Amino acid sequence: MMPSKTVALSTLLFVGFFVVALGCEMHARGKQLFQQNKCIECHTIKGKGGAVGPNLSNVGARRSRDYIVQQIKDPKSHNPNTQMPSFKDLSDQDIKDLVDYLTSLK
């Protein structure tokens, strides 16, 4: 017996809501990590934060995911004179969540 269109649509909407909610949660954790690790003291996002480092308001539109990961782990690989410290001691999950947040900034 084929499921009705209503059941199929309800299932699709539920899955879609779950994916959106999960994405928002990941971005929230990344945003929290951004603040906890004091990134906001040097970087501006949407008019808030420091001005020592680049404005990251649209970093997700300008930089690839791999670039951002490398910048977090080894910022001197992109600019030997950078003042940004390395955050290579963050867990892989923390870096993933932080990068998820930053790549969402477009």
Q: What pLDDT does residue 23 have? A: 47
> What pLDDT sits at residue 25?
55
pLDDT at 89: 95
Cβ-count burial of 31 within 10 angstroms (0-12 exposed, 13-18 middle, 19+ buried)? buried
Question: pLDDT means per 10 residues in the chain (106 residues)?
Answer: 55 49 66 96 96 96 98 97 96 97 96
Do 45 and 58 touch, CB atoms closer than 8 A? Answer: no
* Residue ranges covered by each domain of the chain: 23-103
Q: Which candidate, 44, 52, 50, places its Cα nearest to that of 102?
A: 44
Residue 68: CA count within 13 A, CB half-sphere: 22
Fold of 23-103: Cytochrome Bc1 Complex; Chain D, domain 2 (1.10.760)
The answer to whether residues 62 and 50 touch, using CB atoms and an 8 Å cutoff, is no
Query: For residue 27, what pLDDT is reported?
Result: 78
User: What's the pLDDT score for residue 68?
Assistant: 98
